[in-house]
Amino acid sequence: MIRYYLAFVLALTMVGNAQAQQQQLGPDKELTPEDVEDRIRTQEKPMYTPFVELYLLEETKAIRKEMQDTRAELIEKVVEKELSVADKTMSYAADTVTYFFYLIAGATSILVMLGWNSIRDMRNQLTTLAEKRVNELVVEYETRLKFIEEQLQQKSEIIHQNQADIERTNEVHALWLKASQETSQQNKITTYDQILDLRPDDVEALSYKADAVLEIREPLWAISLCQRALKLAPDNGHALYQLACAYAEIGRWEDAISTLAKALEISEAYRDDASVDPSFTQLHEHDSFRNLVFTDQDDSTDI
């Protein structure tokens, strides 16, 4: 839900920026997709505001309070249900014993009227039978109550797990916001490590950490991070692109080009990034790289 809110706010921000640019261009000139793309590339300020973060925190607080209220209401209903079941059990047991005593009294009266002399034996047998039946009922209701208790325990554990997941998600979201605001690559790496401590299999955190590692000239470290990410998600385009950059940094040209080709199969957007990425500077004269990245220029040259 939080991700949807953030996407909605970002979309509103982009629409507002587009409208502002349209006003700057004038009423006679229509805003083209190229203008919007150029505006996004030259964006100097982040597309979020403290109001967005405050809004998300307030929504998180409301969700947490709603979960607590739901838990309290569930516990109250469970207690009421247990009390109701216990009352019904005791009432049923008391009624059963009463009916057995009525039956014994009636049978005794009949036996007296018929002149039987074994009334005491009959009473003892009926008493034993009544106690046996009552014990069976008690055992049956205890079994049912135990089953209900187990079900409630499972639901309680699920609620606790969901609450922990929500708190972990909020913490990870706050760390992503912090990483986006950091200017130091070392601080970004530290923040990504904190995210990986909470979610060791976060592919995005691994690939973005590899990007930051490449910025501090550690291509071997970046290769290790990208390979770890690709084991979790083989079709992750960002991890493939960062791996290609790392291969290019250490001079493995063929591996860099083949890996970049895989990334371009996932998203054509990496073609523009590769054309200006300093990691591929030494590959600009490589025919395979030019055929892969500068396809438009090659077509215009042929014409």
pLDDT of 16 reads 56
pLDDT of 19 reads 56
Mean pLDDT, the chain, as a whole number?
A: 76
Cβ atoms of 226 and 206 within 8 Å: the answer is yes
For the residues 103-124, what does the mean pLDDT come to? Answer: 65
pLDDT tens across 231-281, in order? Answer: 988 888 888 888 888 888 888 888 888 888 888 888 888 888 888 888 888
Q: Which has more pLDDT, 291 or 108?
A: 291
Residue 284's pLDDT band (cuts 50, 70, 90): confident
Tokens of 124: 């003892």
- pLDDT reading at 23 higher than 70: no
* Prediction pTM value: 0.46
pLDDT of 48 reads 52
pLDDT of 111 reads 59
Nearest in space to 215 (alpha carbons), one of 182, 177, 253, 264: 182
Tokens of 250: 């250490």
- pLDDT reading at 299 higher than 50: no
For the residues 100-116, what does the mean pLDDT come to? Answer: 66
- pLDDT reading at 75 higher than 60: yes
Identify the residue whose tokens are 């953030």.
6
pLDDT tens across 119-159, in order? Answer: 667 677 878 888 888 888 888 888 888 888 888 888 878 88
Identify the residue whose tokens are 């070392």.
186
Rounded distance between C-alpha atoms, residue 236 and residue 204, angstroms: 9
For the residues 208-228, what does the mean pLDDT come to? Answer: 86
Residue type, 271: R
Cβ atoms of 188 and 212 within 8 Å: the answer is yes
Rounded distance between C-alpha atoms, residue 164 and residue 63, angstroms: 13
How far apart are the two ends of the chain, measured CA to CA in Å?
51
Rounded distance between C-alpha atoms, residue 225 and residue 207, angstroms: 7
pLDDT of 302 reads 42
For residue 41, what is the enclosing H or E element? helix 33-41
Residue 192's pLDDT band (cuts 50, 70, 90): confident
